[in-house]
Amino acid sequence: MKAWKTWSSAAALAAGFTLSALATGAARADDTIKVGILHSLSGTMAISETTLKDAMLMLIAEQNAKGGVLGKKLEPVVVDPASNWPLFAEKARELIAKDKVSAVFGCWTSVSRKSVLPVFKELDNILFYPVQYEGEESERNVFYTGAAPNQQAIPAVDYLMSEDGGGAKRWVLEGTDYVYPRTTNKILEAYLKSKGVPAEDIMINYTPFGFSDWQTEVSKIKAFGSAGKKTAVVSTINGDANVPFYKELGNQGIKATDIPVVAFSVGEEELAGIDAKPLTGHLAAWNYFESIKTPENEEFIKKWQAYKKNPKAVTNDPMEASYIGFNMWVKAVEKAGTTDPDKVIAALPGIEQKNLTGGTATMLPNHHITKPVFIGEIEGNGQFDVVWKTDKLIPGEAWSKQLDGSKDLEADWVKLNCGNFNTKTKKCGGA
């Protein structure tokens, strides 16, 4: 009896082996390269992330039409982490361990990125992160194609200080209460003080996610702005809270000519939900605007509107960052001749990809890219009119030069093989 049991389990084991061998054989026969897409399709962040999923699907379909990569077709694997931060880690693990994807494109909020980091390190895979963020990070497995603070926040403040921007002397830093606004505001506060702005001319304010009753906050801004000095608001308000904020600004009659508001998280997509006329002249700082006229951009917009079957579909900055990240990955895979993550990570720094707005983005050794910076004023039709741009591309800084803890840190994955090399102590491992 016992002997039979052993035999049967051995048989089962053997059957199992054969099956799994068959399965891998089948996968090889498919000859596809799998690419993971990790964006929330439900929950609070769906409003922003669903678009990026569609953009990725369009880019992959387009690449396949061109013949794929390394002679193989790309196969997108879409998962829905449902705006739930721990679920991001679970879904990332599922993509890498179960679906065996070669790279993942995804995440929007910083907290979701932080949540998947350990998974990417442990399973050694690649994440392309397409959203502007607070910096203070450089990981071997992550490539940041959105803006670092020195590619968005600092140029925006410089503009508002300049004569063209109105020569602001008094500053309101208004943000949603989480890591991105808090870190960005810390950097901006240090930067403003280094430019000689006294502490009493800076007001910092935080509101919860999804905040909708802006009456008090807006009247506070109004009172702060009527002290005789030119005042500007730097808004790191994220997500849904923006619409009621701008509605209240319009209702309380704060015009851009009195107190301009520059936003870092408001793009074409967000403005689609608001009547933009009362907001004319308020600003946004991005590395891409739909209204920028280049042949590449016009073609991209045309393809996007055809893909969405909606002639009014808008494009935005994180979509361009996804576009750059995806094309860089394709070029790196072709350069490395394999999809093996280690080889692709080594191949990525130095890869170049044309921006949609002109100029060429280069992947830097710190895993950030070079970007142009644009300041746009909101127009009545919900688009942006570019009123200022940097004359050259700005390289992304992983570690802010304004903060004490990060001033001496350097990220270089090519020569130093370290994301937080301390130039004072000459050691890898932070401050």
Residues near other proteins (CB under 8 A) are: 41-44, 46-47, 50-51, 163-166, 177, 205-208, 210-213, 215-217, 219-220, 222-223, 225-229, 240, 243-244, 247-248, 250-253, 256-258, 260, 269-270, 272-275, 278, 281, 283, 377, 379-380, 385, 387
> Could you tell me which of 158, 159, 190 has the C-alpha nearest to residue 407?
190
Shortest Å distance, C-beta 372 to other proteins: 19
Burial of 426 (0-12, 13-18, 19+ CB in 10 A): exposed
Q: Which is nearer to other proteins, 240 or 410 (CB)?
A: 240
Shortest Å distance, C-beta 273 to other proteins: 3
Shortest Å distance, C-beta 253 to other proteins: 6
Phi, psi of 207 (to 5 degrees): -130, 160
> Cα–Cα distance between 116 and 80 in angstroms, integer?
14
- Assigned token pair, 190: 């240090």
Shortest Å distance, C-beta 160 to other proteins: 10
Secondary structure (3-state) at 126:
coil
Q: Which is nearer to other proteins, 167 or 350 (CB)?
A: 167
Q: Are 159 and 375 in contact (CB under 8 A)?
A: yes
Shortest Å distance, C-beta 414 to other proteins: 39
Shortest Å distance, C-beta 107 to other proteins: 17
Q: Which is nearer to other proteins, 128 or 245 (CB)?
A: 245
Shortest Å distance, C-beta 139 to other proteins: 29
Q: Hey, CA dihedral for 421, 426, 427, 431, is it positive or negative?
A: negative
Burial of 424 (0-12, 13-18, 19+ CB in 10 A): exposed
Q: Which is nearer to other proteins, 85 or 206 (CB)?
A: 206
Shortest Å distance, C-beta 232 to other proteins: 10
> Cα–Cα distance between 246 and 251 in angstroms, integer?
9
Q: Which is nearer to other proteins, 290 or 410 (CB)?
A: 290
> Could you tell me which of 316, 330, 348 has the C-alpha nearest to residue 414?
348
* Sequential DSSP letters for 188-219: HHHHHHHTT--GGGEEEEEE-TT----HHHHH
Bridge partner list, 354: 360
Q: Which residue has the tokens 């439900």?
A: 42
Shortest Å distance, C-beta 250 to other proteins: 7
Check residue 228 and give left, alpha or beta (phi > 0: left; psi -120 to 50: alpha). Answer: left
Q: Which is nearer to other proteins, 35 or 218 (CB)?
A: 218
Shortest Å distance, C-beta 4 to other proteins: 47
> Could you tell me which of 182, 192, 134, 185 has the C-alpha nearest to residue 161?
192
Bridge partner list, 175: 206, 236
How many other CB atoms sit within 10 Å of the CB of residue 65? 9
> Cα–Cα distance between 354 and 324 in angstroms, integer?
8
Q: Which is nearer to other proteins, 226 or 423 (CB)?
A: 226
- Give Dmax (Cα) for the chain: 95
Kindly state the DSSP code that residue 22 receives in the 8-state scheme.
H
Q: Which is nearer to other proteins, 100 or 222 (CB)?
A: 222
Phi, psi of 130 (to 5 degrees): -100, 20
Q: Which is nearer to other proteins, 293 or 424 (CB)?
A: 293
Shortest Å distance, C-beta 272 to other proteins: 6
Q: Which is nearer to other proteins, 283 or 363 (CB)?
A: 283
Q: Which is nearer to other proteins, 77 or 82 (CB)?
A: 82
